[in-house]
Amino acid sequence: MRLWYEVDSLRRAVPAPMPSQDHFNVMVPAHFLCGTPEAVDFFKELYDEVKERVESKTGVIEDEKYCFRVVPEVFRECLCILLVLMLAPL
């Protein structure tokens, strides 16, 4: 999880080096493969790739002017609330 947090910290750079869709996709190995050698290797490689993009100022969007960032904890809470509402009896 530390490596996932470090990748998330790199995402604060301007221009944004990693799209949110990709970040949400990497939640799967972060949660379900946490601590396995495969997950550690994956996140080390991801960290190196995102760090390289930050250092070279390579962003996802050319000439980025605005950035909307979703904090994973807030996203998770919103998702839980949505699920509760969807599963609640009418």
**88, pLDDT greater than 80:** no
Domain count, the chain: 1
pLDDT attached to residue 70? 61
User: pLDDT higher for 67 or 10?
Assistant: 10
Range of the domain at 64: 2-87
pTM over 0.85: no
pLDDT attached to residue 74? 58
Taking only the tens place, the pLDDT of each residue in 24-81 is: 788 888 778 888 899 899 999 999 999 999 999 999 988 887 776 665 665 666 666 6
Q: What is the 3-state secondary structure (H, E, C) of 7-71?
A: HHHHCCCCCCCCCHHHHHHCHHHHHHCCCCHHHHHHHHHHHHHHHHHHHCCCCCCCCCCCCCCCC
